[in-house]
């Protein structure tokens, strides 16, 4: 959020409710700045509440506090009260982190998990107190229990039927414990109270500032707040084609403002590469931007502060563990282009940054095996159709080679390359042209040997994959 937007937001009369949404690394400090400006005007401190289980008590406090003081400002972070239903799976995954629940008083971790579960239920207008806990959980849609975007990066199909049943049993126990502890989550009544606060207002000098990661754009309350000029989208970090990150500048500027230490451009790029991980629909995982911010603050502390203090790329390389996300398609591009050194570096990073190295290894092998099948098919079709090797221009390849490689076979039948993306076909063609004919003919056997080794026949499966990768990426 720019200084002009901040000035605009607080220049007019105090609004009862403000909404700042985007990446929480940006939204929370922006909400604090708005709240600090409002509090300075009213001469009061700022209360910050993160992930409150209910909004009702906060609004009730704001309404009654005027009996004791002339002003009060509350910042509520991550309430999810205005979230889209698609975020329910993420909330369920966060609730799972509190399992299993032991009988007795709920510890803080379990309370946080229960709060996220209650928020997920409320997104579907489900009353946590209505009937048996098992019945309430059964009303959640199946997809909300199968896993959010982060879990599906490791398991594209989500949780299995058995895993969903186990999770449901654990969440049932968590909901029962939440009931016994008196937790109820934000309710439809909370939305009604929030709507009432927006339309009728709060006592003069009293305000609620919401900092939210996501909001439903078509939510009527969001529209009502926007009409009053009380909504600001502070920005998010999203992935770009080619491996870049849009919105990184705003994130870096905010962190530089907080720490008084600026990072060099190449240092920012390296820090992003080592920390950020792609999320849903081109977005970035929230915990990875939080890690980016945490590492930035650590590096700022190492830089020492003072005039001229900066974060350099060398500092990032020495102090930050590489846990970023490797683009598997760029890895395969390196293989197809014959850049063996780059391909090996990317392969090591792919496994080092994986939450589940075994799953990452098998997933990548599936893609590499598909590339090998394409290479074998290309060599065979080149011999059948007399296509020349060595075409390095993609446009000419697309015009002259793709139709011949994807057309029906001269002997009848569909080409095994039909429907393949032309660019992926071009990369596979480059790799096929570099392999000697005898090696291309033996490629299916090498893939089978590698599969056997990966599934128990080798003590060093990464070396097996690296050997196959170098074999494909070697120079002609």
As a whole-number percent, the residues of the chain with pLDDT over 90 amount to: 18
Pairing relationship of beta strands 231-235 and 206-212 according to DSSP bridges:
unpaired
What confidence tier does 476 reach under pLDDT thresholds 50, 70, 90? low
What confidence tier does 329 reach under pLDDT thresholds 50, 70, 90? confident
Dig out the tokens for 151 from the structure.
Answer: 């879990």
What confidence tier does 313 reach under pLDDT thresholds 50, 70, 90? very high
| CA R_g for the chain | 28
Separation of alpha carbons 394 and 422, rounded Å: 9
Q: What is the pLDDT of residue 297?
A: 92
Neighbours of 344 (CB within 10 A): 18
Cis check for the bond before 100: say yes or no (omega within 30 of 0): yes
Separation of alpha carbons 318 and 369, rounded Å: 36
Q: Contact 263/271 with Cβ under 8 angstroms?
A: yes
What confidence tier does 242 reach under pLDDT thresholds 50, 70, 90? low
As a whole-number percent, the residues of the chain with pLDDT over 70 amount to: 92
pLDDT digits (tens, 9 = 90+) for 134-185: 998 998 888 889 888 777 767 778 889 999 999 999 999 999 988 888 876 5
Neighbours of 35 (CB within 10 A): 24
Closest CA to 183 of 117, 104, 103, 261: 117
> Residue 281 pLDDT more than 60?
no
Residue found under tokens 């092998």: 365
Neighbours of 163 (CB within 10 A): 14
pLDDT digits (tens, 9 = 90+) for 419-458: 888 988 998 898 888 888 888 888 999 889 888 888 776 7
Summarize the confidence of residues 211-227 as an average pLDDT: 84
Neighbours of 355 (CB within 10 A): 12
> Residue 30 pLDDT more than 50?
yes
Q: What is the pLDDT of residue 460?
A: 84
Mean pLDDT, the chain, rounded, equals 84
pLDDT digits (tens, 9 = 90+) for 68-100: 788 899 999 988 888 766 667 878 888 888 888
Burial class (CB in 10 A: 0-12, 13-18, 19+), 352: middle
Q: What is the pLDDT of residue 187?
A: 47
DSSP 283: B
What confidence tier does 16 reach under pLDDT thresholds 50, 70, 90? very high
Separation of alpha carbons 182 and 259, rounded Å: 40
- What is the per-residue DSSP string for 124-174? TT--TTSS-HHHHHHTS-HHHHH--HHHHHH-TT-S-HHHHHHHHHHHHHH
pLDDT digits (tens, 9 = 90+) for 388-427: 888 889 999 999 898 989 888 877 788 888 888 898 899 8
Q: What is the pLDDT of residue 245?
A: 83
- Per the model's pLDDT, the better-predicted residue between 292 and 354 turns out to be 292
What confidence tier does 18 reach under pLDDT thresholds 50, 70, 90? very high
- Name 409's Cβ contacts closer than 8 Å, sequence gap at least 6: 381, 384, 415
Separation of alpha carbons 301 and 338, rounded Å: 42
- Per the model's pLDDT, the better-predicted residue between 174 and 103 turns out to be 174
What confidence tier does 2 reach under pLDDT thresholds 50, 70, 90? low
pTM of the model: 0.61
CA distances for 204 relative to 32, 55, 71, 146, 349, angstroms: 19, 19, 7, 46, 55
Dig out the tokens for 423 from the structure.
Answer: 């660019």
Residue 73, classed as helix, strand or coil, is strand
Summarize the confidence of residues 44-55 as an average pLDDT: 88
Q: Worst-scoring range by mean pLDDT, 259-263, 266-270, 331-335, 366-370?
A: 331-335
Name, of 81-85, 319-323, 467-471, the range with top average pLDDT: 467-471
Residue 208, classed as helix, strand or coil, is strand
- Name 300's Cβ contacts closer than 8 Å, sequence gap at least 6: 255, 259, 260, 261, 309, 311
Summarize the confidence of residues 248-263 as an average pLDDT: 90
What confidence tier does 1 reach under pLDDT thresholds 50, 70, 90? low
Please state the separation of Cα 358 from the chain's center in Å.
21
């Amino acid at each position: 959020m720019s200084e002009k937007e901040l000035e605009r937001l607080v220049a007019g009369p105090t609004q009862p409710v403000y909404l700042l949404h985007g990446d929480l690394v940006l939204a929370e400090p922006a909400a604090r700045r708005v709240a600090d400006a409002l509090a300075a005007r009213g001469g009061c401190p700022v209360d910050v509440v993160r992930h409150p289980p209910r909004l009702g008590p906060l609004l009730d406090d704001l309404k009654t506090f005027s009996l004791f003081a002339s002003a009060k400002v509350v910042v509520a972070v991550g309430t999810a009260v205005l979230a889209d239903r698609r975020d329910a799976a993420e909330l369920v995954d966060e609730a799972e982190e509190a399992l299993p629940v032991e009988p007795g008083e709920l510890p803080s971790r379990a309370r946080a998990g229960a709060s996220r579960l209650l928020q997920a239920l409320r997104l579907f207008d489900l009353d946590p107190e209505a009937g048996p806990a098992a019945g309430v959980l059964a009303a959640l849609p199946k997809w909300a229990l199968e896993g959010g975007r982060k879990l599906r990066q490791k398991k594209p199909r989500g949780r299995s039927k058995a895993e969903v049943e186990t999770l449901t049993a654990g969440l049932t126990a968590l909901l029962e414990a939440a009931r016994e502890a008196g937790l109820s989550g934000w309710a439809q009544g909370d939305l009604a109270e929030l709507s009432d606060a927006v339309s009728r207002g709060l006592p003069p000098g009293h305000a609620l500032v919401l900092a939210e990661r996501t909001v439903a754009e078509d939510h009527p309350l969001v529209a009502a707040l926007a009409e009053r000029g009380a909504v600001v989208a502070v920005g998010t970090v999203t992935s770009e084609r080619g491996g870049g990150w849009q919105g990184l500048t705003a994130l870096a500027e905010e962190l530089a403002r907080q720490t008084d230490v600026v990072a060099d451009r190449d240092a920012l790029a390296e820090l992003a590469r080592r920390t950020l991980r792609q999320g849903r629909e081109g977005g970035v995982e929230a915990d990875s931007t939080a890690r980016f911010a945490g590492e930035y603050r650590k590096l700022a502390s190492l830089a020492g502060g003072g005039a001229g203090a900066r974060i350099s790329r060398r500092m990032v390389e020495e102090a930050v563990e590489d846990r970023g996300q490797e683009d598997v398609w760029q890895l395969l591009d390196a293989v197809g282009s014959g850049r063996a050194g780059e391909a090996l570096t990317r392969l090591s990073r792919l496994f080092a940054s994986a939450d589940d190295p075994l799953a990452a290894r098998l997933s990548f092998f599936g893609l590499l095996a598909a590339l090998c099948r394409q290479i074998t098919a290309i060599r065979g079709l080149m011999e059948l159709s007399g296509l020349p090797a060595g075409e390095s221009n993609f446009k000419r390849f697309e015009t002259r080679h793709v139709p011949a490689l994807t057309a029906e076979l001269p002997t009848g039948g569909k080409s095994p390359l039909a429907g393949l993306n032309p660019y992926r076909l071009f990369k596979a063609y480059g790799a096929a042209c570099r392999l000697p004919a005898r090696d291309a003919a033996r490629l299916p056997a090498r893939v089978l040997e590698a599969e056997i080794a990966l599934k128990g026949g080798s003590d060093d499966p990464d070396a097996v994959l690296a050997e196959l990768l170098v074999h494909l990426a070697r120079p002609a």
